[in-house]
Structure 1
Amino acid sequence: MSKLYLIRHGNTFSLGEKAVWVGRNEDLPLSPSGIAQAQKLKAAFDDRGIVIEKLLSSPLRRAVETAEKLAMEIEESPLLNEIDYGTWGGKSTEELRTLGYDLALERWEDYGQVPDEAGWGSTAEQLKVQIENARELFIRYLARYQTVVAVTSNGFLKCFARECLQEYQDLCLSKQLKVRTGHLCELQYAAETWKVVSWGIRSEEITR
Structure 2
Amino acid sequence: MNGFVVIFGDAIKNFWDERLPAESVKKLMADVLLYANANSETFLSELQQIQFSTDLQPLPIVFEALSHDTDRWGSFYVEMLETILTRTKQSNKPQEIIDHLIEYVFIEKQQKPFVQQIAARLHKELFSDNLYTKSAAISMLPNYLKNPVVKDKGLIARNIQTKLVNPKWRIRYTAYISLKPHGLLPKGYKLPFVDALFRIIYGRPFTM
Q: Indicate whether the TM-score tops 0.5.
A: no
Compare CA radii of gyration and give the structure with the larger one.
2
Greater per-residue helix proportion: 2
Normalized per residue, the structure richer in strand is 1
Q: TM-score, normalised by structure 2?
A: 0.29
Structure scoring higher RCO (CA < 8 A, sep ≥ 6) equals 1
